[in-house]
Amino acid sequence: MNSRRDFLQKLTASATLIPFLQSDAFAVSGIKGQVYDGPVLRVAIMGLGYYAGRVANAMRNCKKAKLVGVISGTPSKITAWRAKYDIPEKNCYNYETFDAIKNNPDIDAVYIITPNGLHKDEAIRVAKAGKHVISEKPMALNAAEGEEMIAACKAAGVKLLVGYRMHFEPKTLEIIRMRKDGEFGKVLFFQGLSGFTIGDPTQWRLNKTLSGGGSIMDIGIYSVNGARYMIGEDPIWVTAQETKTDHVKFKEGIDETIQFQLGFPSGAVASCLSTYSMNNLDKFFLDAEKGWAEMQPSTGYGPIQGRTFKGELKFPHVEHQTIQMDEMSDIILHGKSPIVPVDGEEALKDLKIIDAIYLAASTGKKVDLKL
């Protein structure tokens, strides 16, 4: 397994995906008989790597969002994407010229899918160009950078959203509904396991300048965020322990494995693991007074598998990024409030927790949180 994408794909490779229509008619009309004729969010993608391609392919089936532009430092990628996705030449930019999107009325938002260390500066430039910002997670390298992004977007009067695709996933939302409706009773405990064996030691995820850290900044953020939406509270303290077995591959500042614990106002606790050196780790477990819920895989590209004390959760699988981009269109264009937030303030909480996890791991002390 060489990367997170392999990890996310292989965990769910044996599941059967529901096929999607690829026609333009489906992109405009959605389910047969349900025609959408409202405004469409016109999106440019910045950074044309693997995950960007996954988002672009999923957007073929969106009803309310459309890929209309690209930003890349690699001319050959721009050429290939123009042909594949029928993107006008006037909507193509490189990293030196993309400030010119300010004068392009055909682009509403830019989805930043570049290494973590580039998010802040790119988001600020997009905001100053007057376009809405969608950033991949983690939103930035740390909470201080996240606050700069939020301030820049507020000053420019644009929205800042973050690619929390699981916030729209049906089985995840069903567990959240059950918890809100009191079906589990008082929540007592959450366990989050997020990990895989990372490959290429020269990749950007193992470069602190670009990644901001190691496993916790990549795969571990799923457990950080998942603990919050599964329990339904924000933590008030954190403790953490780091384990490193390969000091060559995982250099100073690049965490290999971190175990962390979170405490919540209700008394609920979370115990989580983030790692770059173990496979088969993609599991959430919630325990409560009246019942329990389990998801495995819990955050892979899908299908997600979930069950509770009442039985298996059964919902048709739809590509996560298709749902995400349609929902983000409603948030940006119609002011819709999602069940679980995906805005900059939501992402800032995760960054504050991650900052505290690193501090707790380095000092061996419990760190209080004020989110």
Topology, domain 166-315+344-368: Dihydrodipicolinate Reductase; domain 2 (3.30.360)
User: Which H or E run includes 164?
Assistant: none
Catalytic-labelled residue, pool 85, 164, 222, 276: 222
Give, rounded to a whole angstrom, the gap between the first and last alpha carbons of the chain. 36
> CA-to-CA distance for 315 and 171, rounded, in angstroms?
7
201 in Cβ contact with 246 (< 8 Å): no
Q: Kindly give the parts of the chain with pLDDT less than 50.
A: 1, 12-32
Q: How confident is the model at residue 26, as a pLDDT?
A: 31
What residue segments make up the domains of the chain, in order of their start? 4-164, 166-315+344-368
pLDDT tens digits, one per residue of 332-355 = 999 999 999 999 999 999 999 999
> CA-to-CA distance for 368 and 371, rounded, in angstroms?
10
Q: Residues near 269 by Cβ (< 8 Å), separated by ≥ 6?
A: 188, 189, 190, 261, 262, 263
Q: How confident is the model at residue 30, as a pLDDT?
A: 41
Catalytic-labelled residue, pool 120, 137, 159, 352: 137
Phi, psi of 294 (to 5 degrees): -140, 140
Active site residue 222: yes
Q: Retrieve residue 38's tokens.
A: 């409202």
Topology, domain 4-164: Rossmann fold (3.40.50)
pLDDT tens digits, one per residue of 73-129 = 999 999 999 999 999 999 999 999 999 999 999 999 999 999 999 999 999 999 999
How many CA atoms does the CB half-sphere of 233 hold within 13 Å? 20
Active site residue 365: no
Token pair 């390298």 in the structure block, residue = 141
161 in Cβ contact with 328 (< 8 Å): yes
Q: How confident is the model at residue 260, as a pLDDT?
A: 99
Q: How confident is the model at residue 34, as a pLDDT?
A: 72
Q: How confident is the model at residue 25, as a pLDDT?
A: 29
CA 194 centroid distance within chain:
14
Q: How confident is the model at residue 10, as a pLDDT?
A: 55
- pTM score: 0.92
Q: How confident is the model at residue 27, as a pLDDT?
A: 34
